Amino acid sequence: MNCCEHCITKPVTPRYQVVLQTGLCVPMRDGVELATDVYRPIGYPGELPSILIRTKYGKADYRLPEPSKPVAMTFAAQGYAVVVQELRGLFDSGGHFALLEHDAKDGYDTLSWIASQPWSTGRVGTYGCSALGITQVLTAQLCHPAHRCAIVEGAGGAMSGDRQRPITRGLVLTTPPD
């Protein structure tokens, strides 16, 4: 079990079957399109709260039928839309990868895209461990109105140094309710 899956300690009974929409291209403010998959519960009554996972490791590990990273399926089966996106310049996403350079704005633009979808309540949380956590912290700094919380597991790692590790392990950032 890796750090991104330790919070799922026992099997969760799915409340919904899940449909996966692949091959989406989400436009950023500069015209670059980022490869995105969306997992949604089938038969959910109404709009969905969403969870955004932005990854530099590719979306394939989250996909059906037997994902090595079951978190997207687990959250979607409980009634969330889960958006998994590859970072700029990696895998199927357009643009050029530059470590940390575009993460904040691309995260912000993706939150705007999620909030504008007909299936979305306009309330989005973010989730991820290590590098995926760093992208969340950078996105959170821009204070998007749709961004409700960030579950940041072990963000920082080798990049943060020892003095920052205590504040980036298991960090949950929230915004006040409406």
pLDDT for position 23 = 94
Neighbouring CB atoms inside 10 A of 127's CB total 24
Per-residue pLDDT of 96-119, as tens digits, reads: 999 899 999 999 999 999 999 999
CATH architecture of 18-174: 3-Layer(aba) Sandwich (3.40)
pTM of the model: 0.84
Q: At what angle do helices 131-140 and 103-116 cross, to 10 degrees?
A: 70
Residue 165 has pLDDT above 80, yes or no: no
pLDDT for position 95 = 99
Question: What's the Cα-to-Cα distance from 161 to each of 13, 133, 151, 158, 164, rounded to whole Å?
Answer: 39, 15, 20, 6, 6
Average the pLDDT over each of 5-19, 131-145, 164-178 and give the range with the smallest value.
Answer: 164-178
CA distance 53 to 60: 13
Per-residue pLDDT of 3-54, as tens digits, reads: 545 555 667 789 999 999 999 999 999 999 999 999 999 999 999 999 999 9
List residues bridging with 171 in a β-sheet. Answer: 152
Tokens at residue 24, please?
A: 């989406």
User: How is the chain split into domains, by residue range?
Assistant: 18-174
CA distance 111 to 50: 10
Tokens at residue 142, please?
A: 């821009």
Amino acid at the residue 39? Y
pLDDT for position 9 = 60
Sign of CA dihedral 7, 9, 15, 16: positive
Model confidence at 94, pLDDT cuts 50, 70, 90, reads very high
Residue 177, SS3?
coil
Residue 158 has pLDDT above 50, yes or no: no
What's the CA dihedral at 45, 22, 18, 73 to 10 degrees? -120
Per-residue pLDDT of 42-85, as tens digits, reads: 999 999 999 999 999 999 888 866 776 789 999 999 999 999 99
